[in-house]
Amino acid sequence: MSFSRIIVSYQIRSFSCSSAVQQMVKPPVQVFGLEGRYATALYSAASKQKTLNNVEKDLSKFQDVIKQDQKLNEFVKNPSIKRREKVEALKAITNKMSLSKETGNLLSLMAENGRLQKVNNVINTFKLLMAAGRGEVVCEVITAKPLDADTKSKLESALKGFLNKGETILLTAKVDPTILGGMVVSIGDKYVDMSVASKIKRYSDVITAAA
């Protein structure tokens, strides 16, 4: 696809106009930062249109395409490409992928504002909102080596102690050799760094301060 040849007329529909802010649908949990603002605005817009599930599927589909298509990935992340060109390209991609209007509006708005390189973070934040709405608590565990099935099962059972009644845990495990050992756990808004790397850094800081 030649993005430079895509010629479309598209008027940005801002999620954050004054009237829209006053009628925002409150998300199940509060999220912060740039990603939180976009994700919350999208959640509100999709709630009003009753398209939350469709939007979640759209975003997952778009996220998969970015991972698989290196040229699109580079296009999304490249800050030197003109914003208008990105808006036009995103409009064409939205149509080709048959994405919902709300999803298309988000992508085009982010392109117009020069924030498209943050789209992956926004999608992940939106997924957090959707998970919270279903009573799922997202938990991420990072270890230096992959967890075996038995350890993962025991860890999941232990983490369930942090949940409230009616909630279920949504556990994802990632591997990061740089933590050396131990684990880093985030569950909901709680974060615990039990990695060997963090301990080494702490000891190094103490030694440096004492020198």
pLDDT tens, position by position, 20-61: 445 788 887 888 899 999 999 999 999 999 999 999 999 999
Which pLDDT score, from 0 to 100, does residue 123 have?
A: 94
Q: Left, alpha or beta for 59 (phi > 0: left; psi -120 to 50: alpha)?
A: alpha
Q: How do residues 154-178 score in pLDDT, each as one tens digit? A: 888 888 888 888 888 888 889 999 9
Distance CA 186, CA 33 (A): 18
Q: Which of 159, 152, 135, 143 is nearest to 196 (CA)?
A: 143
Q: Which of 191, 55, 44, 34 is nearest to 116 (CA)?
A: 34
Judge contact between 44 and 16, C-beta under 8 A. no
DSSP state of 136: E
Give me the domains of the chain, ranges plus CATH numbers.
Answer: 10-131 (1.10.520.20), 135-210 (3.40.30)
Task: For residue 39, give both structure tokens.
Answer: 């994700």
Judge contact between 97 and 59, C-beta under 8 A. no
Q: Which of 111, 114, 133 is nearest to 46 (CA)?
A: 133
Q: How do residues 69-114 score in pLDDT, each as one tens digit? A: 999 999 999 989 999 999 999 999 999 999 999 999 999 999 999 9
Which range has highest mean pLDDT (3-7, 128-132, 162-166)? 128-132
The model's pTM: 0.68
* Helical H segments across the chain, by residue range: 18-22, 33-49, 52-68, 70-77, 83-97, 101-112, 119-133, 149-159, 196-210
